[in-house]
């Protein structure tokens, strides 16, 4: 595999891994540990559990796919600034997950909020979006630094 292909696999794999990891953290923290919401709150409990199951299956597929693509890329240390590129892609993927999930599910589809029923529900939703934006900004800053050095 050419060095260019390895770099591309590293970028794609780390992005998908970050996206899947943040989805898994969302599911574990907000769905299971805190039990603040399910993916689809506008259904009965079996429907909520089913929607969470589909969500968890999807992010697990992303984690596995990201891992396989990274495995195909080889050792990040064999690629110029590979560890930084891995971190940049991971953080960018995690940030994109939060932004997409927050914008689409919380605001456009309105299938759930971060903490529905709370008097400060909008603040929780905005904090969730802000965390995604922060991760994206940091990931992109790391990625740009890779290009400049």
Query: Quick check: pTM over 0.85?
Result: yes
For a pLDDT cut of 70, what percent of the chain falls above it? 99
Rounded distance, CA 45 to CA 52, Å?
Answer: 10
pLDDT at 31 over 60: yes
DSSP at 77: G
Rounded distance, CA 69 to CA 14, Å?
Answer: 8
Buried b (16+ CB within 10 A) or exposed e, 72-92: ebeebeebebbebbbbbbbbb
Instruction: Give the pLDDT of residue 2.
Output: 87
**Residue-number span of the structural domain to which 82 is assigned:** 3-148
**What residues contact residue 103 under an 8 Å CB cut-off, 6+ apart?**
129
pLDDT band at residue 79 under the 50/70/90 scheme:
confident
Rounded distance, CA 54 to CA 88, Å?
Answer: 28
For the chain, the domain total comes to 1
The pLDDT tens digits for 54-72 are 999 999 999 999 999 999 9
């Amino acid at each position: 595999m050419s060095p260019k292909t390895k770099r591309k696999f590293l970028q794609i794999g780390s992005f998908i891994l970050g996206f899947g990891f943040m989805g898994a953290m969302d599911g574990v923290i907000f769905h299971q540990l805190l039990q603040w919401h399910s993916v689809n709150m506008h259904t009965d409990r079996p429907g909520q559990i089913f929607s969470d199951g589909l969500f968890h299956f999807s992010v697990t597929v992303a984690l596995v796919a990201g891992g396989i693509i990274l495995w195909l890329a080889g050792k990040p240390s064999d690629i110029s600034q590979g560890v930084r590129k891995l971190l940049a892609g991971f953080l960018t993927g995690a940030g994109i997950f939060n932004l997409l999930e927050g914008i689409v599910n919380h605001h456009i589809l309105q299938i759930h909020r971060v903490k529905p029923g709370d008097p400060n529900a909008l603040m929780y939703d905005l904090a969730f979006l802000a965390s995604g934006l922060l991760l994206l900004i940091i990931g992109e800053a790391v990625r740009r630094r890779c290009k400049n050095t």
